[in-house]
Amino acid sequence: MNRNRALRMSGCLGVVLLTLALASVPLTGTALAVSGGDGTDAPTSAAAPGKAFDDVWPKPVDEFLSGEYLTKADVILTRRSGDIASTVIRWATNSLFSHAALVYTAPPFDAGISETFVIEAGTSGVDLTKIADYARGDNADFVAIRRLKSKSWFDGNRQARVRGVLLDKIKSRYDFWTIWKISQNIWFGVQSKMETKQKTVERYRKNEWTPPNEYICTGLVQVGFVEMMVEAIQRGEISPEALRDVIFTKSAEQYLPEPGNWTLLGDDAKETAISFKDILTDELYAVTPEDLVQTDKLEWLYLIKDGVVHKTPSYEDVLRIVNASSAVTQ
């Protein structure tokens, strides 16, 4: 009996030693590199601590939402399914997407929160929505996630302020019923095809209409970043030249001094940056989902489709996955 017990103990010790030996093997070698289903090698560091094989991609959406992959002020791009306004927006802007939102809160960075919420403009005004409603396909065909490129000044407090700007508008209401929303969206799309989107927004304001929610929502994302930046510039915390880093449309960016020329403005540099938002309000609110697609100020992160999350370092990766899924369903 003692001999059998010794053998069992020896076997257990062997398993332990083997486990320790495997754990000590560096995972950066090509032989043990984990390849994601997207055709890209997964990074070796886990996004959420304590999760083995956490960076295996693609991954189920529930696993993704329970990890530490999203952060405050991440930009959400979606395409609504079965929505006339969505179709018109995509046609009018030649875009894959028709709607935008912003990550507002999630369990990793807000205690007491059990789900991730986005803040967006809806039919009744600015509101909070569970991202799961989009990610699981209830409200969208697919979801793309982008993030402001790494900047030392874009810390947690400034991320929170971007979402705070949108939250300040939580009681905003729109002045037309759903049926009017659809008809005005169609007219907005037609008008935008015939003239610049900024003039279309101005025309809406002159007619005392509110521009369609899909446009307002994308514009709110843009305005959130701009207002955060202008406030920081006003307090002297950030250089006025950094304002360009949060302008997501070339048509608005063209009105800013070129990089390196801000010093020529001297004491007027700060005032120029502060007045930018007020002077170009219509242009900023007229930002479209396609502007958020084309800007180089945001980096591509993920695409969620059919309950699966893919890593997408580029827009080409997004198109590849979307087109591949479309080909399968046809």
What's the whole-number mean pLDDT along residues 65-75? Answer: 93
Which DSSP helix (H) or strand (E) runs through 105? strand 99-105
Q: How confident is the model at residue 21 (pLDDT cuts 50, 70, 90)?
A: very low
Question: Does residue 239 have a pLDDT over 50?
Answer: yes
CB 232 within 8 A of CB 270: no
- Looking at the domain assignment, is residue 316 inside a domain? yes
Model confidence, pTM: 0.72
Question: Does residue 152 have a pLDDT over 80?
Answer: yes
Q: Which residues of 278-299 are buried (b: 16+ CB within 10 A; e: fewer)?
A: eebebbbbbbbbbbbbebebbe
- Name 304's bridge partners: 143, 309
Angle at 116 between CA 156 and CA 131, to 5 degrees: 120
> So what's the pLDDT on residue 217?
77
Output the CA–CA distances (angstroms, integers) from residue 264 to 247, 256, 325, in the order listed.
Answer: 21, 13, 52
- Looking at the domain assignment, is residue 77 inside a domain? yes
> So what's the pLDDT on residue 36?
37
- Looking at the domain assignment, is residue 76 inside a domain? yes
Q: How confident is the model at residue 281 (pLDDT cuts 50, 70, 90)?
A: confident
CATH number at 272 reads 3.90.1720.10
Structure tokens at 307: 């309950």
Range of the domain at 96: 59-329
- Looking at the domain assignment, is residue 79 inside a domain? yes
Q: How confident is the model at residue 106 (pLDDT cuts 50, 70, 90)?
A: confident
The Cα–Cα gap between 131 and 147 comes to 16
- CA 242, 246, 249, 252: dihedral to nearest 10 degrees? -50
- Looking at the domain assignment, is residue 130 inside a domain? yes
What's the whole-number mean pLDDT along residues 88-110? Answer: 84
- Looking at the domain assignment, is residue 300 inside a domain? yes
Q: Which stretches of the chain are DSSP H helices?
A: 2-23, 61-66, 84-93, 131-135, 156-167, 178-194, 197-206, 213-234, 250-253, 268-279, 281-285, 289-294, 315-329
> So what's the pLDDT on residue 295?
97
> So what's the pLDDT on residue 207?
59
Domains identified in the chain, total number:
1
What's the mean pLDDT when you consider all of the chain? 75
**How far is residue 111 CA from its own chain's centroid?**
22
Q: Give the residue among 160, 91, 149, 150 at the shortest CA–CA distance from 119.
A: 160
Question: Does residue 64 have a pLDDT over 80?
Answer: yes
- For the ranges 69-78, 109-118, 193-202, the lowest mean pLDDT is seen at 193-202
| More confidently predicted of 40 and 126 | 126
Question: Does residue 153 have a pLDDT over 90?
Answer: yes
Angle at 270 between CA 267 and CA 274, to 5 degrees: 145
Tokens 């076997």 -> residue: 11
What's the whole-number mean pLDDT along residues 83-90? Answer: 75
> So what's the pLDDT on residue 22?
34
> So what's the pLDDT on residue 110?
78
Q: How confident is the model at residue 200 (pLDDT cuts 50, 70, 90)?
A: low
Angle at 223 between CA 284 and CA 77, to 5 degrees: 90
> So what's the pLDDT on residue 197?
57
| More confidently predicted of 179 and 273 | 273
- Looking at the domain assignment, is residue 34 inside a domain? no
> So what's the pLDDT on residue 19?
36
- Looking at the domain assignment, is residue 318 inside a domain? yes
Residue-wise pLDDT tens digits, 286-328 = 788 899 999 999 999 999 999 999 999 999 999 999 998 665 5
| More confidently predicted of 245 and 193 | 245
Question: Does residue 75 have a pLDDT over 80?
Answer: yes
Question: Does residue 60 have a pLDDT over 90?
Answer: yes
Output the CA–CA distances (angstroms, integers) from residue 279 to 134, 215, 218, 273, 286, in the order listed.
Answer: 35, 19, 19, 10, 13
